[in-house]
Amino acid sequence: MQVLTKWSDIQSINIPENTIVLLIQHLIEPFGSEQATQAYWNEYQTVVYLIEDNDTIEDFKQWEQPIKEALVFIFSYPEYQDDLNEEYQIKLAIISDAGSGIYCIHQTDSPVAEWLIHLANTGGEV
């Protein structure tokens, strides 16, 4: 699990370089430029959660409760979800009237993502 809260951290996310490029393009798109995106991230709380390739359901059960609750929220109430490429998906949930958001990035075949879908669909507790 990787948690990013600053725009400058996006370059260090633990995904393949070509997917980082797609992610940055995806995150910039609604704002029109990297400068506008960075200004928004500086003003409003934005968090990116990366469910890493080697994360397991057992790992998930050990994560801090606020992280688990945020991930279940994203999977329960996504504003949207999209494929970054054939291997990675991104989901966004809005958490404030100002538009603050939390993103989740995961591989399409992630067992943790499948578990989160199950929890979201069944109202399971984390």
Measured CA to CA in angstroms, residue 21 lies from 16, 30, 95 at distances of: 9, 16, 26
Residue 111 near residue 51 (C-beta atoms within 8 A): no
Closest CA to 53 of 88, 26, 5, 3: 88
CA distance 59 to 1: 9
CA distance 88 to 51: 10
State how many domains the chain has: 1
- Domain around 99: 2-122
Q: Which two tokens stand for residue 67?
A: 């992280």
Distance of CA 70 to the CA centre of its chain: 10
For the segment 24-80, what is each residue's pLDDT rounded down to a tens digit? 999 999 999 999 999 999 999 899 999 999 999 999 999 999 999 999 999 999 999
Q: The pTM is what?
A: 0.93
Q: In this model, does residue 94 exceed pLDDT 90?
A: yes
Residue 99 near residue 44 (C-beta atoms within 8 A): yes
